C-alpha cells in the first residue's frame, strides 16, 4: 500500500482551492438568483476536472473550456436562447450546449499525454479515477453529512466550503489512480507540475 505523505495532501488542497476558485462566479449567480435553473449543475461539473488539470500545472485547455462554460452562463442571463430564437416548446439554455462539450474536452484531454497506447491508458485511468471519485463522494458524503450539515444557500451539487476535507481526499484519489509513473513522464513533457516538486 502506498504511504500517504504531506505532498499528497498538498496536491489535494491545491486542487480543491482551484475548484472553489472556479466556482465563485457560479456561487454568485446562484445565490443572487440570476441563474437558478438545473443546467448550472452542468457548468459546475466541468470545474471538477478543470481544477485537476490546473493543479497539474496545465492551464490552456482547462481555462479555455471553463471560459466557454462561464460565457454560456453569462449569455443565458443576458441573451437566453428564447430572446434569440423566440418561443421554443422546450426551455433551452446555452450552457446545455456548451458544458457537455467542455466536459468531454477536459476528460479527453488525457489523450494528449503519451504516444500510441499510452494515450488510451491515460484516458482509461482518468475515467477510472472519475468513477472511483464519484463512488467515494457518494459513500463518504453520506457519513460526512451525519456530522457536517450542508449550507442551505447552496444546492448539494455545488462544492461547499465545509466539505474541503472530502475534496482533498477526492483529488488525492484521482492523482493516485491517473498519475501512474509512465503517465507522469508523458505529462512532464507537456509541462506537468512545472511549479511543483516532483512528489506533489
Q: Which of 2, 1, 9 is CA-nearest to residue 168?
A: 9
Altogether, the residues listed in the chain come to a count of: 200
Query: Using one digit for the tens of pLDDT, what is the confidence trace for 137-168?
Result: 999 988 999 999 988 888 888 999 999 999 99
Q: Summarize the confidence of residues 2-23 as an average pLDDT.
A: 83
Q: Where do the structural domains in the chain lie, given as residue ranges?
A: 6-189
CA distance 124 to 57: 21
Q: How confident is the model at residue 196 (pLDDT cuts 50, 70, 90)?
A: very low
Task: State pTM to two decimals.
Answer: 0.86
Q: What is the pLDDT of residues 88-101, one digit of tens each?
A: 665 678 899 999 99
Amino acid at each position: 500500500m502506498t504511504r500517504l505523505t504531506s505532498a499528497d495532501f498538498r496536491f489535494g488542497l491545491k486542487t480543491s482551492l482551484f475548484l472553489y476558485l472556479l466556482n465563485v462566479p457560479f456561487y454568485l449567480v446562484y445565490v443572487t438568483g440570476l441563474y437558478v435553473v438545473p443546467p448550472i449543475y452542468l457548468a459546475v461539473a466541468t470545474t471538477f476536472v478543470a481544477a485537476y488539470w490546473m493543479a497539474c500545472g496545465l492551464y490552456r485547455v482547462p481555462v479555455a473550456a471553463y471560459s466557454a462554460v462561464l460565457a454560456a452562463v453569462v449569455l443565458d442571463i443576458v441573451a437566453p436562447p428564447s430572446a434569440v430564437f423566440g418561443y421554443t416548446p422546450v426551455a433551452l439554455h446555452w450552457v446545455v450546449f456548451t458544458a457537455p462539450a467542455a466536459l468531454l474536452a477536459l476528460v479527453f484531454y488525457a489523450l494528449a499525454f503519451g504516444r500510441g497506447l499510452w494515450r488510451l491508458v491515460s484516458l482509461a485511468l482518468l475515467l477510472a479515477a472519475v468513477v472511483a471519485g464519484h463512488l467515494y463522494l457518494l459513500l463518504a458524503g453520506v457519513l460526512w453529512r451525519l456530522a457536517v450539515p450542508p449550507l442551505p444557500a447552496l444546492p448539494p451539487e455545488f462544492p461547499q466550503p465545509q466539505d474541503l476535507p472530502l475534496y482533498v481526499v477526492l483529488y488525492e484519489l484521482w492523482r493516485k489512480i491517473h498519475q501512474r509513473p509512465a503517465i507522469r513522464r508523458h505529462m512532464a513533457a507537456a509541462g506537468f507540475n512545472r511549479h511543483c516538486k516532483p512528489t506533489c
